[in-house]
């Protein structure tokens, strides 16, 4: 299931024994396009405090009621060192967060947690952890990138409106672009994105604007079946192939 990242803002988060706050942002890896943390405003439970929680600490099945269940009690949550996403800057800090939830650093081999609190670190995941203290330069926040200009290979396509994430692992699969010429929103695979230009506030896709503007439209705002992801992938495969064929046979295609 694909879910709108924007639609998850404001969703309630509950521990086993009650509400602990709501989602206010996401911290993601802008190189691998993976969601690393949900940022929670827990001021109603712990006044003045925000927390970051790894995605694998949640039970995604509770989303149907617009509630996320985290695998811990309110007391266990209260023992977490309060952090905002900006402060998770090293592998050591990341390890501390995952240790608190008794979770492996990185995604689990199976998208489920044991019925008891947390899960054990397995050998296949220990090798993925980098040295403690490694700076995580690629971590950014969703609200930071939302509204960035989206460029095609030959000009501006629109603005970055949203990401569609795959629930379970919460990887960012599609970038949602609001076209500059109309209110239509379309999707493009994040695999087409060049490295984000943070100072220029720009994300560039490696395809012409015409291909982006004719992509499948995004109508809903909360959940979309996996068929959308497949149709977007098929569209870009075909459109890019036609573009390259035309470029080789007739010169560069111009809009």
Q: Are residues 136 and 151 in the same domain?
A: no
Mean pLDDT, to the nearest integer, of 72-76?
84
Q: Are residues 45 and 129 in the same domain?
A: yes
Contact 162, 6 (CB under 8 A): yes
**What pLDDT is attached to residue 87?**
52
Q: What is the pLDDT of residues 134-145, one digit of tens each?
A: 444 568 899 999
Q: What is the pLDDT of residues 32-59, one digit of tens each?
A: 898 988 888 888 877 777 788 888 788 7
Q: Looking at the 3D structure of the chain, how many domains does it have?
A: 2
Mean pLDDT, to the nearest integer, of 24-29?
90
Domain CATH for 122:
2.30.30.240
pLDDT at 8 over 70: yes
Candidates 211, 195, 199; CA nearest to 155 is 211
Range of the domain at 240: 146-250
Helix/strand/coil for 226: helix
Q: What is the pLDDT of residues 146-180, one digit of tens each?
A: 999 999 999 999 999 999 998 777 889 999 999 98
Q: Of 118, 140, 162, which one is at a domain's C-terminal end? A: 140
Q: Looking at per-residue confidence, does 253 or 48 come out higher?
A: 48
Placement of tokens 């009621």 in the chain: 65
**What pLDDT is attached to residue 49?**
75
Q: Is 112 domain-assigned?
A: yes
CA atoms within 13 A on the CB side of 97: 25
Distance in angstroms (rounded) separating the CA atoms of residues 254 and 104: 50
Q: Are residues 191 and 228 in the same domain?
A: yes
Q: Is 85 domain-assigned?
A: yes
């Amino acid at each position: 299931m694909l879910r709108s990242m924007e639609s998850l803002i404001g969703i309630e988060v509950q521990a086993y024994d009650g509400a602990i706050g709501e989602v206010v942002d996401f911290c993601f890896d802008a190189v691998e396009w993976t969601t690393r943390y949900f940022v929670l405003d827990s001021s109603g439970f712990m006044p003045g405090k925000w927390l970051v929680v790894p995605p694998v600490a949640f039970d995604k099945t509770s989303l149907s009621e617009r509630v996320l269940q985290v695998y811990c009690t309110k007391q266990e949550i209260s023992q977490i060192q309060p952090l905002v996403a900006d402060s998770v800057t090293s592998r050591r800090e990341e390890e501390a967060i995952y240790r608190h939830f008794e979770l492996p650093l990185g995604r689990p081999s199976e998208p489920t947690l044991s019925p008891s609190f947390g899960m054990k670190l397995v050998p296949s995941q220990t090798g993925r952890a980098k040295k403690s203290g490694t700076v995580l330069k690629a971590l950014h926040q969703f609200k930071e990138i939302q509204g960035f200009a989206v460029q095609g290979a030959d000009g501006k396509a629109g603005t970055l409106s949203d990401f569609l994430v795959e629930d379970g692992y919460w990887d960012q699969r599609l970038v949602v672009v609001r076209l500059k010429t109309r209110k239509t929103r379309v999707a493009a695979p994040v695999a087409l994105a060049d490295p984000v230009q943070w100072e220029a506030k720009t994300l560039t896709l490696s395809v012409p604007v015409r291909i982006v503007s004719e992509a499948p439209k995004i109508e809903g705002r909360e959940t979309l079946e996996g068929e959308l992801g497949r149709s977007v992938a098929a569209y870009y495969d075909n459109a890019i192939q036609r573009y390259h064929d035309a470029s080789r046979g007739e010169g560069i295609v111009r809009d």
